[in-house]
Amino acid sequence: MVSGKRWLSMLFVLFVLTAGRVLDPLTPSTVFGGSIVGSRHDLKSDWEKGSVLMKESLNNYGEVCVYCHTPHGGDESLGPLWNRDYTPASFNVYTSPTMDTTAAGIPGAVSLACLSCHDGTIAVDSIINAPGSGPNLTGPWYGQGAATYHFAMKEGANACGECHVGSPAHDARHTYLTTDLSDDHPISMPYPSPSEDPQFNTPPDAMKGWGGASPGDVKLYAGKVECPSCHNVHDPDVVPFLRKANTGSALCYTCHIK
């Protein structure tokens, strides 16, 4: 039984070994792409780069992966070794008269993982297992004191959106998906077969899509479209965390015949 901290250390080593970029996380990779380290998904890095107010807004756990993952005691119903203290909200899902398939009323686990931050219902630092041994939600935190506030991704006061409106910090409002997903690309719906909707390309693998083992192309999850079908949460190289460049809308055209 390794502690969460030690597990994370091992993972960190793995990144270093495979990408060799830990010291220069912003340099694009030629193999698997960039690293989460130093990206906007690296909340530790965000905290460290942030303003005084930023440091008051979320806990710095001193680790990168811990904001999402834990080696033990995670909630697998939400995602792989998922460490976020999250009870899915009720979502308003996308519907369209032009759609021939139907989005699930509750997003699938793979997408819920993303939504555990991006729906704005819980603080970005609301995790199950803090660094150290087991649940530790009261601090003191690794290397630092507890933040005064615990901001969630949403607009307005006492939320990330208090600052992230373009000034003083970059505008992050477009990443606050909220629980209203009706204005977002549908997720968690089966990828349509040609008979269901001939205006979709047929993936090479009906269950896994185009990406297969590679993170560099569109993936399906058990034959369904989920947030990570397009996004690679760990790779910031193709803004915004896309699996591949959308040159000529290539990402869109992977699926859509339009």
Using CB under 8 A, which of 199, 204, 207, 212 touches other proteins? 199
* Shortest CB 208 distance to other proteins, Å: 20
Using CB under 8 A, which of 103, 130, 177, 255 touches other proteins? 177
Whose Cβ is closer to other proteins: residue 173's or residue 208's?
Answer: 173
* Shortest CB 49 distance to other proteins, Å: 17
Cβ atoms of residues 125 and 50 within 8 Å: no
Binding mask 31-70 for other proteins (x = CB under 8 A): ----------------------------------------
Residues 6+ apart with CB under 8 A from 127: 61, 66, 67, 70, 83, 84, 85, 137
Q: What is the DSSP letter of 147?
A: P
Does 102 sit near other proteins (CB under 8 A)?
no
Using CB under 8 A, which of 105, 139, 198, 204 touches other proteins? 198
DSSP-based helix, strand, coil % in the chain, nearest 5: 25, 10, 70
Whose Cβ is closer to other proteins: residue 151's or residue 176's?
Answer: 176
Using CB under 8 A, which of 90, 167, 183, 195 touches other proteins? 183
Using CB under 8 A, which of 2, 13, 222, 252 touches other proteins? 252
Going by C-alpha positions, the residue among 61, 59, 65 that lies closest to residue 81 is 65
3-state SS string over 185-231? Answer: CCCCEECCCCCCCCCECCCCECCCECCCCCCCCCECECCEECHHHHE
Does 98 sit near other proteins (CB under 8 A)?
yes
Using CB under 8 A, which residues numbered 66 to 95 contact other proteins?
94
Using CB under 8 A, which of 179, 182, 193, 201 touches other proteins? 182
Distance of alpha carbon 110 from alpha carbon 225, whole angstroms: 10
Q: Where are the alpha helices (DSSP H) in the chain?
A: 4-19, 43-49, 52-55, 109-118, 227-230, 250-255
Q: Which stretch binds other proteins (CB under 8 A): 57-65, 66-74, 125-133, 170-178?
A: 170-178
Burial annotation 215-230 (CB, 10 A radius, 16+ → b, else e): bbbbbbbeebbbbbbb
Q: List residues binding other proteins (CB under 8 A).
A: 94, 96-99, 166, 171, 173-175, 177, 182-185, 198-199, 230, 239-240, 246-249, 252-253, 256-258
